[in-house]
Amino acid sequence: MTDSLTAETPPEELSGGDYQKGVVTYVVDGDTFDVKLENGKTERIRPILVNAPEICHKSSPSACEAEPYGDEAADFTKDLLEGETVYLEQDVSERDPYDRLLAYVYLENGQMYQELILSEGLVEVSVYEPDIKYQSHLEKIEQKINKSTTHH
């Protein structure tokens, strides 16, 4: 991936403004995880504009229809985010139909989670209007990945 496609936000810009700071306490899968916010409340987060393959959850293994690369996406997310401080930026919609908080997720170094997992080829861009602030940026990354390779 070339640096020209990454729109990293400097960490100093994340400490103010419209960002909520928290710590990732539990990763469900590649596109769902829990964050304990500074106000003490724990929110289930759904990163905006990416969709990870489904995995088998321990609570219902018999009804499981895992999708290819679902476990890899979940493992990547767990390794990258669990126990880490993140900054959440919201778009137009606050929550999805499952009451998950919708957010663009940034690491302390300013990198966007969505960019990182997309660059690994583990998720697809998934657009639900009106939450499209970074749609064209993420689609450029996806197109570049699709041209150079398929899933790792």
Query: Which residue from 108, 74, 106 is spatially nearest to 90, judged by alpha carbons?
Result: 106
152 is a domain residue: no
pLDDT for the residue 67: 73
Q: Which residue range(s) make up the domain with 130?
A: 3-147
Give the confidence band of 10 by pLDDT, cuts at 50, 70, 90.
Answer: very low
**Is the CB of residue 77 less than 8 Å from the CB of residue 69?**
no
Higher pLDDT, 12 or 94: 94
pLDDT for the residue 18: 81
* Prediction pTM value: 0.83
Q: What percent of the chain has pLDDT over 70?
A: 80
pLDDT for the residue 38: 94
Question: Above 70 in pLDDT, residue 17?
Answer: no
- Whether omega before 130 lies within 30 degrees of 0, making that bond cis, reads yes
- pLDDT tens figures, 63-121: 677 777 788 999 999 999 999 999 999 999 999 999 999 999 999 999 999 999 999 99
| Number of independent structural domains in the chain | 1
Catalytic center residues? 46, 54, 100
Higher pLDDT, 30 or 4: 30
Give the confidence band of 6 by pLDDT, cuts at 50, 70, 90.
Answer: very low
90 is a domain residue: yes
State the CATH number of the domain containing residue 99.
2.40.50.90
CA angle 59, 62, 67 (to 5 degrees): 90
Q: What percent of the chain has pLDDT over 90?
A: 70
